[in-house]
Amino acid sequence: MSIAANNPELTSWVPVPANSDFPIQNLPFGIFQTKNEKPRVGVRIGDQVLDLKTLYVLGYLENLSFELSDFDNEFLNAMMKKGKKGTRELRNRISKLLRSDVNDLQKNEHHVAQVLIPVDQVEMRMPVQIGDYTDFYSSKEHATNVGIMFRDPANALLPNWLWIPVGYHGRASSVILSGVPVHRPKGQIKPQDDQPPIYEASRQVDFELEMAFITYDGKPLGDSISTEEADDYIFGLCLFNDWSARDIQKWEYVPLGPFLAKNFASSISAWIVTLDALEPYKVSTPDQDPEVLSYLKFEGERSYDIHLEVAIEPEGSAETTISRSNFKYMYWNMAQQLAHHTVNGCNVRCGDLMGSGTISGPTEDSYGSMLELAWKGTKPLKMKDGSERKFILDNDSVIMRGYCEKNGVRIGFGEVSSKILPAKK
């Protein structure tokens, strides 16, 4: 569907720096807090945060389906409860108010001073109260690389991978906001195949470059969401670093899959970019062979051209970009993931988070994890300060960024960044 707020010709009376992630065509939602005030809903425009609670109180959001409590809230969930129609109308109203050719708000300097807050004066908070979290495994390149490293290279993909958007249920309680540090996890590892396991801090902490989507309320238990309907149940996307402890994972994952190796932390970016804002950046999903089963078939362009990059910043040193990838490489798209998740009648709820799985591209510099980039530690990566990395060291920060660009418009996600601290004693 064409969204008026996506018009590349739109400009805002709010100054937007060149190459900003947040032009008027974006308008992502988040939760922010200022000194001596409670957390509340905001929208990012350039280097300013638009305070929706104050905007509502001043009467600029009349005749929409929202109440004050939807914006005077520490999470976006109440606002998202209004569904796709409600949030689309809200974004369109905000776009109109911020347009350079509309005077309703910009002519009232007293109101402008109340509703626009410089981003360096706010503290960002977790945007969503996440009820459940599912992580998929949807990059063919990533699954193939892992299969080559740990199984028979001639049969790198497991038999079900080309038929099913493989996934597992993760731990919502340890999903954290960008900027929150992570302590190196401890658990059982097995350094020597012919020796018993030992208990100690992970030696192989890794990142996983992912995107994640946030859902509206789904259908009742027992009903399914089709690929055709999927977009109506997806609010937006954020950057997602699904931290992993590879040595813990290798020992524990048989027979039930990831557990302690994954549930110690997953980091998300602060701003949720709506699916509507990403509409102009749709592209074709990679060819799928064999032909998928009926409930996974879809029409049209259902993948997104989102440029992604990962950098490592050693403490006290400059960051080094180690990967450049793209969300469009994913074999299984979000519509298929949501259709598969609910085909058995599983009910998704407002605020559920769905991780894409590691995003790896076709070239060595587009892989989405240290496991692949350093190829299980056999090809260390060199940092700008001369040091090398096989996995993430204590006090390293991992920084992920993402953006779309077309017709002179850049829609970005900001960044997700977190530092690995030493294991707790």
Helices (H) and strands (E) in the chain, counts: 9, 26
Q: Which helix (H) or strand (E) holds 56?
A: helix 52-57
What is the distance between the terminal CA atoms of the chain, rounded to a whole angstrom?
54
Amino acid at 366: S
Residue pair 209/241 in contact (Cβ under 8 Å)? The answer is yes
The answer to whether 385 and 314 have CB atoms below 8 angstroms apart is yes
Are the C-beta atoms of residues 52 and 40 closer than 8 Å to each other?
Answer: yes
- Cα angle vertex 344, ends 341, 348, to 5°? 45
Q: Is 110 a residue of the active site?
A: no
Catalytic residue selected from 110, 111, 142, 340: 142
What tokens appear for 159 in the block? 């038999």
List, as own/partner pairs, every contact residues 10-17 make where C-beta atoms lie below 8 angstroms and the sequence separation is at least 24, other chains included: 10/95, 10/99, 11/99, 11/100, 12/45, 12/46, 12/98, 12/99, 12/100, 13/98, 13/99, 13/100, 13/106, 14/45, 14/46, 14/48, 14/98, 14/116, 15/46, 15/47, 16/45, 16/46, 17/46, 17/47
Beta carbons within 10 angstroms of residue 88's beta carbon = 18
CA dist 56 → 68, 307, 423 (Å): 7, 35, 45
Rounded CA-CA distance 376/367 in Å is 13
Question: Strand pairing partners for 406?
Answer: 409
User: Residue 282's closest CA among 231, 210, 241, 337?
Assistant: 231
In this structure, what are the phi and psi dihedrals at residue 409, rounded to the nearest 5 degrees? -115, 130
Closest to 181 (Cα-Cα) out of 419, 396, 423? 419
Catalytic residues: 142
